[in-house]
Amino acid sequence: MELQTAAAWAEILGVVTILGAAIYSWFQIKELRRSRDSATAMNLAANFQNPDFVVGLTSILNMEIEAKETENQTEAFNALKEHYGENWPMVMTVLTTWESIGVLIYRGNLDFHTFYDLFSGVIIKTYDAFSFYLEPIREDAENKNMEWFIWLADRIREYENEGSGTPPAHLAFTGWKPPKRS
């Protein structure tokens, strides 16, 4: 074999190797993202096993708040704190969790659809329960309190208003069957 022929074959082999490595890397990156999303979903679901989160969320969902119209954000905050009493730290755990999740979704570190399937209903219920406190924040361009929680509730409502949301799982997926074992 001539030197030129050998060099041409070596060049072809190099290109094939580089293409193969690129294709393999692409599949690896997809698998890593899937793995990351799965781990994130498991961490999110673990919130339901955190006693503080459970007590806080249960308090929010099961206690009616008598909304008092007030111009003073501090008064509204203190009214919430007084209303929830000893459960207030747990309620704040829930609110700060929603705030953190908003940032994670915005930055692409958490899949919106996984979050939506797990928490969309309770986010909206939480927002509605605290709307008398949150709406004045929304109207004040300088106020950054709970900004990502407000952003997240808006994204969920927009998603559902566009018709992209799903009904509750027990209705939407009644025909689902587990895959057969191989």
pLDDT tens digits along 16-60: 899 888 888 888 888 887 777 777 777 777 777 788 888 998 888
pLDDT at 67: 61
Range 62-79 average pLDDT: 72
pLDDT at 102: 92
Boundaries of every domain in the chain = 1-46, 50-167
The CA distances from residue 145 to 20, 35, 130, in Å, are: 50, 33, 13
The CA distances from residue 39 to 43, 95, 99, 100, 106, in Å, are: 6, 22, 20, 16, 18
152-180 pLDDT per residue, tens: 999 999 999 888 878 888 888 889 998 88
For residue 7, is pLDDT > 70?
Answer: yes
For residue 106, is pLDDT > 90?
Answer: yes
pLDDT at 62: 85
